[in-house]
């Protein structure tokens, strides 16, 4: 099972809000975002993908081996969680979805995932190609690393 789906920049409605793009993490997974230039920031809104009120999944952004953001466990009835991470000029960062081990695995949606480069250019992650490690041919690109 592939651990991530992208809506390729097509509008998506979550609750009462419409977003221009999204990435859905279906299970515990890790992706590496490769940028063509140094990055200034990464932002998105996080939502748990069900309405059960259950959940054991969390979302983190890692830059250069350090955690720039880690959410609390996301549950279906929660409001969206804003993410805004300073990339500090990094041209690569990792988006990771983990579990606290309780077994209530639910998808996580990152709505309007966007990176702003240091020159002000915006790159919408839902528009980037998704590749597996052996097939990365160009930047910018998102590389699916693993389902854990």
Domains of the chain, earliest start first: 4-147 (2.60.120.1060)
Task: Pick left, alpha or beta for residue 76 (phi over 0 → left; psi -120 to 50 → alpha; otherwise beta).
Answer: alpha
**111: how many CB neighbours lie within 10 A of its CB?**
23
SS3 content of the chain, % helix, strand, coil (to 5): 5, 55, 45
Residue 139 contacts residue 127 (beta carbons within 8 Å) = no
Provide the mean pLDDT of the chain. Answer: 80
Better-scored residue on pLDDT, 135 or 91 = 91
Residues 72-100, mean pLDDT to the nearest whole number = 90
What pLDDT is recorded for position 1?
Answer: 34
| 136: confidence class by pLDDT, cuts 50, 70, 90 | very low
Residues 4-18, mean pLDDT to the nearest whole number = 69
pLDDT at 84 over 90: yes
Q: Residue 76 has what DSSP assignment?
A: T
pLDDT at 103 over 50: yes
pLDDT at 65 over 90: yes
**37: how many CB neighbours lie within 10 A of its CB?**
15
Q: In what order do the strands lie in the sheet with 92-99?
A: 66-70, 57-63, 92-99, 29-34, 141-147, 130-131
Better-scored residue on pLDDT, 114 or 104 = 114
Better-scored residue on pLDDT, 25 or 91 = 91
Single pTM value for the model: 0.82
């Amino acid at each position: 099972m592939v651990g991530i789906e992208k809506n390729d920049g097509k509008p998506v409605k979550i609750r009462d809000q419409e977003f221009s793009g999204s990435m859905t993490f279906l299970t515990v997974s890790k992706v590496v975002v490769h940028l063509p230039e140094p990055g200034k920031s990464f932002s998105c809104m996080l939502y748990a993908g069900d309405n059960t009120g259950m959940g054991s999944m969390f979302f983190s952004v890692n830059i250069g081996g350090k955690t720039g953001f880690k959410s609390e466990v996301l549950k279906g009835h929660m409001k969206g969680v804003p993410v805004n991470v300073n990339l500090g000029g990094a041209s690569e960062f990792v988006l990771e979805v983990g579990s606290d081990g309780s077994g209530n695995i639910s998808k996580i949606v990152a709505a309007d995932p966007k990176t702003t480069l240091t020159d002000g250019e915006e790159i919408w992650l839902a528009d980037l190609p998704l590749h597996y490690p052996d097939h990365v041919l160009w930047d910018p690109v998102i590389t699916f690393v693993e389902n854990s």
